[in-house]
Structure 1
Amino acid sequence: MAAQTAPEQALAWIDAGQRVALATVIETWGSAPRRVGAQLVVSGEGEMEGSVSGGCVEGAVVVEALEALEQGGNRVLEYGVSDGDAFAVGLACGGNIRILVEPVGDGGMPEAMLRDLVAARAARRAVAYEVALDGSHRRLVEEGHADRFRMDRSGVSEDGGTFIAIHNPPLRLIIVGGVHIAQHLVGMARATGFDPVVVDPREAFGAAARFPDAQVVNDWPDAALEEIGLDARCAVVLLTHDPKLDDPAIHCALRSDAFYIGALGSTRTHASRLARLAEAGFAEDRVGRIHGPIGLDIGAAGPAEIAVSILAEMIQTLRRP
């Protein structure tokens, strides 16, 4: 199941009969606590999910969102440490942020457009939501923002009049091997926005009871990965330490656009793995994509700390050029 984010939560509340407004960070300066594109969804009952400031100004934004639901139309908010009102609500981090507040319906984002956006995300199609800050026009497009899609970077247009919100497919983590490290990694990855899938043909390891927060697939890794489908928003982590399971998965991963491939094992184990891949015909530049031994070298001891090192390396690979 895909991780619940602002668009999905907004639609869930609408389907439950509530009115909804979306608040989105559209620009930041200095040490603003959230990146451009971060969202908060607010229901007509005052419930909220997500964040636009890490807690600094959420209360003030909720008030503005409720007013937008009553009055209709877009509104652009700006908070900074030099602003008396902003300081009063707690923005003391030294940065500035601009936030676009839109009701769903009532002169804001049409409900049908929100449904189309959620459907595109569920189908793993990358879309951009273009909205004029004055609310005069808005549309969903799949082309025309190649650099923004590649860098996963939302932002205001050069003329300053339109915000372009990039909605890439949700991040996905495929873990091959339902071992102890995987149990820790699943929860950490889900908390950071990944949809985890655990693949293990050994039902004792790949048991749903061991991974209640992940999709579990009891099939051979090559068949499972082909069925799942790997794209540039996928990370593949191999934890079985068994070539019979790891090698078929690596072959699939290396033929894909997965942004991260990591494999558990010592330096000696990894050297043997590379030799087998060379014998299988994989070029050196392809096998160079594999992170092995897996994880950042933080001196990790024990399954939980190894999981931290793996997740940190995944995020570093995703976010740094």
Structure 2
Amino acid sequence: MTAGIIEAVNGARAARRPVATVTDLSSGAMRMVLPETIAGDRLEPALADAFRTGKSCQAEDGRQFINVYLPAPRIVAVGAVHITQALAALAPVCGFALSVVDPRSGFATPERFAGVDLLVDWPEDAFAAQPLDEFTALAAVSHDPGMDDPALIAALKARCFYIGALGSRRSHAQRVERLSAAGVSDEDLGLIHAPIGVDIAAATPQEIAVAILAEIIAALRRPDRAATGRIAAQAPRARAACLVDG
């Protein structure tokens, strides 16, 4: 790998962009490939599969080897609440880095979230510093529209692979009205998982965290991912609320 390619690959990885290198096994010649440049490439099917699965592979001709580098999936939770505390304990076990966004310094404290990336700021400012991307799962669990709504809009614009929001069907219907009035399309509204989490009749913050993490894993691992890593749009499934509004 030449110094120029190393620098370019490291730059893409630092920016959380998927990137691959293709090496000619006979000559050792190497080139860098991005998902948006594979159309028309002679190795397009193999490259598309590599970006979809994240697995390096040898091309069918046996003369080329594809090394693929995908950003590590991560979770961003908006709201330093009890559910997020439980999620902070569970996420690393499943290989997810977790960031917590909450402007309330009394909630987002190192004592409550030891070792967690804390962004004590409003979502708009937090995401300007640490942008969302398609390898990010966004869990809006503050139950405060002033925090959750801007975060959901930002996640939809970034095409996060999972977007979930806490609340009952009633509160989500009200959320849909607010987001629609803010210009969010019906198609994008359909990408929000709400009520958040797999329906396991979760009652405690810990159980709700398990339900959220299970739904995130399902979104990451299911087979209908596009070549860039994005999840195909799916209408929200009818399921019971994980948490009923008080």
TM-score bucket (shorter structure): 0.7 to 0.9
Contact conserved, 1:129 with 1:138, CA < 8 A, in 2? Answer: no
Structure 1 residue 289 displacement after superposition:
0.7
Q: For residue 103 of structure 2, what is the aligned residue in structure 1? A: 201
Structure 1 residue 172 displacement after superposition:
2.2
Q: For residue 124 of structure 1, what is the aligned residue in structure 2? A: 16
Structure 1 residue 197 displacement after superposition:
1.0
Q: For residue 228 of structure 1, what is the aligned residue in structure 2? A: 130
Could you tell me how far apart the structure 2 residues matched to 1:136 and 1:195 are?
39
Could you tell me how far apart the structure 1 residues matched to 2:166 and 2:159 are?
20
Cα 1:274/1:135, change in 2 over 3 Å: same
Instruction: Tell me how large the CA RMSD over aligned residues is.
Output: 2.5
Query: For residues 1-321 of structure 1, what are the structure 2 equivalents within 5 Å?
Result: 117-131=9-23, 137=28, 139=30, 141-143=32-34, 144=38, 145-320=47-222, 321=224
Could you tell me how far apart the structure 2 residues matched to 1:224 and 1:197 are?
10
Deviation string, structure 1 residues 281-307 (Cα, Å, up to 9, x no partner): 222111111000000112223222211
**Greater RCO between the two (CA within 8 Å, min separation 6)?**
2
Structure 1 residue 169 displacement after superposition:
1.7
146-155 or 196-205, which deviates more: 146-155
Deviation string, structure 1 residues 227-276 (Cα, Å, up to 9, x no partner): 32121111111111111211121221222211111001111111111111
Q: For residue 238 of structure 2, what is the aligned residue in structure 1? A: none
Cα 1:164/1:192, change in 2 over 3 Å: farther
Could you tell me how far apart the structure 1 residues matched to 2:50 and 2:19 are?
11
Which structure has more strand as a fraction of its residues?
Answer: 1
Secondary structure of 2:80's counterpart equals coil
Structure 1 residue 203 displacement after superposition:
0.8
The count of corresponding residues between Structure 1 and Structure 2 is 212
Could you tell me how far apart the structure 2 residues matched to 1:122 and 1:212 are?
25
Could you tell me how far apart the structure 1 residues matched to 2:182 and 2:16 are?
31
Contact conserved, 2:91 with 2:98, CA < 8 A, in 1? Answer: yes
Deviation string, structure 1 residues 80-133 (Cα, Å, up to 9, x no partner): xxxxxxxxxxxxxxxxxxxxxxxxxxxxx789977765554223232214356x
Cα 1:210/1:136, change in 2 over 3 Å: farther
Q: For residue 72 of structure 1, what is the aligned residue in structure 2? A: none
TM-score, normalization: structure 1?
0.59
The one-letter code of the counterpart of 2:97 is D
The one-letter code of the counterpart of 1:296 is V
Cα 1:242/1:146, change in 2 over 3 Å: same
Contact conserved, 1:126 with 1:142, CA < 8 A, in 2? Answer: no
Deviation string, structure 1 residues 166-199 (Cα, Å, up to 9, x no partner): 1112222111001111122123222333221110
Could you tell me how far apart the structure 2 residues matched to 1:306 and 1:264 are?
10
Cα 1:112/1:184, change in 2 over 3 Å: farther
Sequence identity (%): 45
Q: Which has the larger radius of gyration?
A: 1
Deviation string, structure 1 residues 40-84 (Cα, Å, up to 9, x no partner): xxxxxxxxxxxxxxxxxxxxxxxxxxxxxxxxxxxxxxxxxxxxx
Could you tell me how far apart the structure 2 residues matched to 1:181 and 1:117 are?
37
The one-letter code of the counterpart of 1:137 is G
Could you tell me how far apart the structure 2 residues matched to 1:135 and 1:201 are?
55
Could you tell me how far apart the structure 2 residues matched to 1:290 and 1:201 are?
23
Q: For residue 59 of structure 1, what is the aligned residue in structure 2? A: none
Structure 1 residue 315 displacement after superposition:
1.5
Q: For residue 243 of structure 2, what is the aligned residue in structure 1? A: none
